[in-house]
Amino acid sequence: MLEQIFGVKKPIIGMLHAPALPGAPGFEGDWERVRARVLADAEALAEGGVDGFLLENFGDAPYYPRRVPPHTVAFLTVLGHEVKRTFAKPLGVNVLRNDARSALAIATAIGAEFIRVNVHVGVRVTDQGVIEGEAHRLLRDRVMLGSAVKIFADVAVKHSAPLAPRDLAQEVLETIERGRADAIILSGAATGRETSPERVREAKAVAGATPVLVGSGVTRENVANILPVADGVIVGTFFKRDGVVQHPVDAERVKAFMRVVARVRERLP
């Protein structure tokens, strides 16, 4: 499935961290500056050689725990449309903190290929409070819209904790079998935190044909250890200037990362 979307095995997906959108506490009053920053980051990622993008309203903290207001959906739709129109790359959408239904609507409208859902099934305790998955609504929305957008669902998502200890393998199985996710994402404890290869192997052991991606903490130094065990990776922090998540994307850091990826791919069966 990933190869059909991205055209390569083991795709590298670069994050498009949108600055605060109009209406968010951090918005600096210049919508054109937000638009220009996202497009500049997309250009740097494309120049560096990534295989796809993932757009999210990263700058909108503190996030709504569930549905975001209509203006957030509108501005993200414009950004996604511009990225999709300008760059011949697969695109995903994530509406933080957990508005998967809006993400699906945006992705379907602009022709994006996938969405990321932080809490698809089950319950997580987060800085936004207790968040419950809405797989039952999301999947019905997809049928209603006649959408082909794929659902990439986090398991044990970063910046969260379970209400009670849960077995990772069981959570992966439930997300796939009962939540009908098209791909699984594993991440570290927070943005930029490394994801354990052992946890990826544990998830892969039960995921069957469903791809398992790594969603945080992948760097030029550890990608050679992560990529052989994962089906793809999502990279944000490492691609930024000086490795600072709030900074713009640095095309040279992307190129350096992708050179390592090329060597890893050459050795893969």
pLDDT digits (tens, 9 = 90+) for 87-138: 999 999 999 999 999 999 999 999 999 999 999 999 988 989 999 999 999 9
CA distances from 27 to 24, 62, 65, 87, 194 (A): 5, 12, 19, 26, 29
For the record, the structure tokens of 170 come out as 């069981």
Does pLDDT of 165 surpass 90?
Answer: no
Per-residue pLDDT tens over the stretch 230-246: 999 999 999 999 999 99
Asked which of 67-71, 83-87, 157-161 is least confident by mean pLDDT, the reply is: 157-161
The answer to whether 66 and 99 have CB atoms below 8 angstroms apart is yes
Determine the Cα–Cα distance for residues 99 and 118; give it in Å rounded to an integer.
9
- pLDDT of res. 189: 62
Determine the Cα–Cα distance for residues 180 and 144; give it in Å rounded to an integer.
16
Give the CA diameter of the chain: 51
pLDDT band at 16 (very low <50, low <70, confident <90, very high): very high
For the record, the structure tokens of 149 come out as 């957008």
Determine the Cα–Cα distance for residues 234 and 192; give it in Å rounded to an integer.
11
Does pLDDT of 176 surpass 90?
Answer: yes
Per-residue pLDDT tens over the stretch 207-234: 999 999 999 899 999 999 999 999 999 9
Per-residue pLDDT tens over the stretch 39-53: 999 999 999 999 999
Rounded to the nearest integer, the mean pLDDT of the chain is 95
- pLDDT of res. 183: 98
- pLDDT of res. 253: 98
- pLDDT of res. 110: 98
Does pLDDT of 192 surpass 70?
Answer: no
The arithmetic mean of pLDDT across residues 67-81, rounded, is 98
Does pLDDT of 159 surpass 90?
Answer: no
- Percentage, residues of the chain above pLDDT 70: 98
- pLDDT of res. 268: 86
The answer to whether 204 and 176 have CB atoms below 8 angstroms apart is no
The answer to whether 186 and 200 have CB atoms below 8 angstroms apart is yes
Q: 3-state DSSP call for residue 107?
A: helix
- pLDDT of res. 152: 98
In this prediction the pTM is 0.95
First-last CA distance in the chain: 18
The arithmetic mean of pLDDT across residues 79-86, rounded, is 98
Does pLDDT of 190 surpass 70?
Answer: no
- pLDDT of res. 164: 78
What class has domain 10-267?
A: alpha beta
Helices 70-86 and 100-110: crossing angle in degrees, nearest 10, is 40
**DSSP strand E in 91-240: where?**
91-94, 114-117, 123-126, 129-132, 150-154, 160-162, 183-186, 212-214, 232-235
